[in-house]
Amino acid sequence: MTLALLVAYIHLVSSVLLVGYFLFWLVMTVGLERLEPAAEVAPLTAAMLAGARWPPAVVPWKLRLTLPGLGWTFLAVLVLSGIAESLAGARYPVAGALGIKLALLAALAAAHAQLGRRPTPGLAKLSLGLALGVVVLSVLLPR
């Protein structure tokens, strides 16, 4: 496997993980909104944001990633592998599709920053839509 193929593989796997991450937020926020009594929603959201850490063992608690931290990690791997792809040989003309993809990615980062602080179903839907939009636009890039 050449370096270019390995980088493309990492890029694809990180895209899959990122979509899974935003799908998780959608499922979780919609599920929380349906919860009765509504007074439970805020403490459960706070418990999830602060208490769900990864990896769940081995690493000291303070060094474990929160859920938003995981999202930032996936985004960072996606961006770095995307940059590496362009350096490793995939020469895309800076045309419409790439420009829109990068704009959607910036919007996704902004939505994620807000989602990590105050998750709502609307924001989760927007984030998942943006993530899928980035994936769809990747298909249009020349191979």
Mask: binding to other proteins, 17-56, rule CB under 8 A, as x and -? xxxxx-xx--xx-xxx-xx----x--xx--xx--xxxxxx
132 lies in the site for other proteins, by CB under 8 A = yes
The CB-of-114 to other proteins minimum distance in angstroms stands at 19
DSSP character string of 19-53? HHHHHHHHHHHHHHHT-SSGGGHHHHHHHHHHH-E
Which H/E stretch holds residue 65? strand 65-66
16 lies in the site for other proteins, by CB under 8 A = yes
Nearest-angstrom CA–CA distance, 15 and 118: 23
123 lies in the site for other proteins, by CB under 8 A = no
Nearest-angstrom CA–CA distance, 139 and 135: 7
Whether the CB-CB separation of 121 and 26 falls below 8 Å is answered with yes
The CB-of-107 to other proteins minimum distance in angstroms stands at 18
For residues 66-105, which are near other proteins according to CB under 8 A?
67, 70
The CB-of-60 to other proteins minimum distance in angstroms stands at 13
Whether the CB-CB separation of 77 and 14 falls below 8 Å is answered with yes
Q: Which residues bind other proteins (CB under 8 A)?
A: 4-5, 8-9, 12-13, 15-21, 23-24, 27-28, 30-32, 34-35, 40, 43-44, 47-48, 51-56, 67, 70, 132, 135-136, 138-140, 143
